[in-house]
Chains A and B, each alone.
Chain A
Amino acid sequence: MATGPDPAKTARGNLPPLSLHVPEPNFRPGDPVDYSFLDIPPPGLLPRPDETCPATETTPLCSGMVRVLGNDHRAVGPWDPKLDPETLRRMLRAMALTRAFDDRMYRGQRQGKTSFYMKCTGEEATSVASTFALAADDMVFPSYRQQGILIARGYPLTEMINQIYSNKADKLKGRQLPIMYSCREHNFFTISGNLATQYPQAVGWAMASAIKGDSRIATAWVGEGSSAEGDFHAAMTFAAVYNAPVVLNVVNNQWAISSFSGFAGAERSTFANRAVGYGIAGIRVDGNDALAVYAATRWAANRARANGGPTLIEHFTYRAEGHSTSDDPSAYRSAHEREEWPLGDPIMRLKRHLIELGEWSLEQQEAMDAELVDLVKAATKEAEKNGILGHGLHHPFHTMFEDVYKELPWHLEEQAEQAIRERQTKWPEWKPE
C-alpha cells in the first residue's frame, strides 16, 4: 500500500474558502478622483548612476520615478539633461505638432475621411522626447501610439495622411489599418496590430547590429497592457541573455482600452521592476516630463551603445483620450481622471519650463500653435487631392496580390485575374486612374 496523506484526515472544515482576486480600478464613471495613493516623488531625488553601471544599481530607479521638472517648472537634479533652449523649442514644437496632427485626424475620422484613428494626447513626450535622445539611424519598433516619432524625425505629414486615408498615394497600397505606418527611410519599423510582437523583433534587430559590429541600436515601445504578452517576456529574456543593444519602452498610460493597468499586473509591482528579475537595467520615469524622458532614453541609449546592454524604461503617463476613435472612455472611467492627473500635461510643462528659462513666451506659443494648425491643414488638403478612404478603389487590383511573395506564384496570378475580371461586374462605372 502506498503511504501518504490520508485524504479523509486532511483538515478542510476550518479553512476559509479560497477567493479569486479580480482587479478593479480606483474610479469608475461618476466617481470623484483622489490620486493621493500615487507615490510621486519630488524631482531631482533619484541618483543618476553611471551609464555603464551594473544593472543592479538601477534597482532603486525601477520603483521610484525619475523626474526633472518640478511644480515650479524648473529643471533640477542629476537627471537634468541640460538641453540648450533651441533643442527644447524644437522638442516642444514636435510635441505640439503631434497634438495638432492628432486633433485634425480625429476630426477627419469623424467626418468620414478614414475609418479609424488613435490619438496620443498626453503621451507626446514618450515618443517625441525619446526620439530626440536617439540617433536618427537608430531603429525604432513602435506600437500604434508613437506617431510622435515620425513627426520628430521629420517624416512628411502628407505621407502620414496618405496612409491614414489609404488613398492612391498611400505607399502601403491601402493595405494597412490607418496609423500603422512604415518608413524604412526614417528607420521606423512597420507597425503590427498583434501586440508586443515588435519587442522580440527589436531585440533581434539589435542582436544583428551587434553581430555585424554596427553602432546603431534598436528601441521598441509597448503599452503596459501588452507587457502581459508572452512576446514581452521572450524579448526580455533574449535581451538579457545576449546583452542586446536595445532600449525597451513600456508606455504605462494606465489603460488598455477599458482594462486598467491592474490587469497587466500593476497592483503588484511597477512595470520597470520587471527589469530586475531579468538582470537588466530599469528606469521608471515621469512620462509627462519631456526632460526626464529625454534623460532616461539618452542614458539607456548610451548604455546600449557602450555594450552595457538593454534597458527597460517605464513611462508613467496617462492616456488622456480614448483608446481609439472606436472607444468611449466615459463608459468605464471617471471624467475627472484626466483633469486631475497629477503629472500634468507634457506640452504645457515643457512650455512653462521654456518660459521660466526666459526662452519662450505665451505669445510665441500661440503663434506657433496657429502656425502648426495651418501646417496640418495644408498637409491634409494636399493629401486629400489623392483621395480619402471609400472614395474610389484607389489601388490597381493587381496590387492586392503583390508583395505576398517576392514573385507572384501561379495561384495568386490566377486570383488576380479573377479580381480584375470581377471589377467589370461590380463597378462597371469605375475607371482606373
Chain B
Amino acid sequence: MRTLRVLFTTVALSVAASLNPAHAEVLKVAGPWEITGIDPAQTGYVFSRLQVAETLVTANHEGEIVPALANRWSVSGDGLTWRFTLRENARFHDGMPVTGEAAAASLQRALAGVGVLAQAPIEDIASDGRDVVIRLTKPFSALPAYLVHFSTIVLAPSSFDAAGKVTQIVGSGPYKVKSLTAPARLELQASGGWWGGKPAIEEVSYLAVGQGETRALMAESGEVDLAFSMLPVSVDRLKANPRLDVQIATIPRTRILKLNAASPFFDQIEERQAISAAIDRAGITKVILRNPDLAATQLFPPAMKGWNSPDVQPLVRDVDKAKELLAAAGWRAGSDGILEKDGKRFSVTLLTYSSWPELPPIATALQAQLRQVGIEAKVSVGNSSEIPARHQDGTLEMGLISRLYSIVPDPVGTLLQDYGPGGSDWGSMGWDNKEIQSVVEQLAATSDAAARAPLQGRAVEILQQELPSIPVTWSELAIVSNKRVSGVQVDPLEVNYGLSAIRWAD
C-alpha cells in the first residue's frame, strides 16, 4: 500500500509540474498538413508557408508576382531567355551566400523531379554570376508564376547528399529548422541573417493536427496562437469567442463536377447544362459550408480579378429548365421515375474522396438534387487517386472534386493542363475544344494585360457555355488566431503565412 501511495504522489507531482505551460515566447501554430518526407515536391509548401525556404519570386495577396530571392528579372526580346538576378544580401542558414550557381543547381533538381517546372517549356537552367538564366523552347509568359510554386524552393548545397537527395532543409528564409519530428512537429528559430530583417517572434512551433475539430479546440483552449484551415462548422463558434480573431479569405479553389463528356449521359451540351440547372448551389453552400456567398455561379470566384467575368450568364438552379433540356436531349421518364433513352437508364456513379471532409456530404446533396430531375447518381467515396485512375482507364462517369487554380498564381497554368487536348486528371474528360486550347495558348504566351483581358473573358465564356466540368461551390480559407498576437494576415494563395510579421500584442 505504501509503494502505491509513493507511486501515486510521484505521478501527481509530475503531472502538476508539467501542467504549467512552457514559457510563452514560442509562437504555437497548428495546421492540417503532415510533414511526410522533406522532398520539396512533396512537402515544400510547409517550408515555404512557414518561411523557412524561399523561391526566386513570390506572389502577394493580390496574386501579383513580386521579388523574393531575386529582386529583378527580365526576358529577352524573343521571349526565350529569362534572367533572374539574385539579391546581394541573401544567405542560406548555414552561412553560405545564395549564389547563382547554388540557386541554379537547386532549380535543376526541381526540373528533373515531379514538380511544376517539368510542365513548363524549359530548355535548360544555368547560372551567370548572380543571375539564374532559364532558356525556353517557346515563349511562355507564365514562367515567373511557375517559380512561385513550393517545389522550386531554393535550398543550399548542404541540403543534398551525394546522390542529390534532400537530407535536410537549409533554406534562406527568416526562420531556420531547429528540429523536425516527422510527421507532426516542426520547431523553428529565427535565422538571424534574413535579407528582410529580423522577425518579431524568435521561435515558432508547428504541430500537424489532422482533425479540424481538434484544431478548433486547441485555439479555444489557448494551446495554440494560430490555427489554419478551420472547418465551416467551427467558424461560427470561434467567431463568437472574445479571445479569438477569425480571418477568412476566398481562395482560388472550386469544387466542380468532373463529367465524362464522351459517355452517352453527358455527350450533349443540353445534358451538362441540365445537370448544372438541377444543382441547388445556394442550399449546399448555406447548409454544408455555412456561407451562401460560396455558391459557384461560374468557375472562378470574384476575388480572382480578370478571371471572374461579369458578362457571363450565372449558373443558377432551375429545375423546370433542367427537365426541358433533358427532354430535348431525348430522355424520357421510365416507370420508376428515372429517365431512360434507347433502353438505357440514366444511372451513373458519382465518385468522390474524403481528403476534403466536405466533399462526401456535398456529393450526397447532389445525389438528392439530381434525383429530382430523374437522374440516379450512386455516390462512391474512395481515395483521391481513384479520380485520376478512373480518368486514365476511361471508366469515370461523374466525379466531385476540389480543384486548385493557384497551383501557380496564374490560372493559365492549370487551364493549360485541364482543358488541353485529351483533358486531364482533374480537368475535362472526353471533351475536345479547339478554340479554348488556342485561347489558353495565346494567354500563356503574352503577359500584356490589355491583350490578355479579352482572351480571359472568352475562356471563361466557353467554359460557362460548354460546361465540360460543372462549378458547384467556391472555397474559403479560415484561420483563427489568439488576440495575444497581432499582424496575422490570411494569404488567399497560401504561398506564405507571413509569420515573420506577427508580433505579441501588448
Say if A and B assemble together.
no
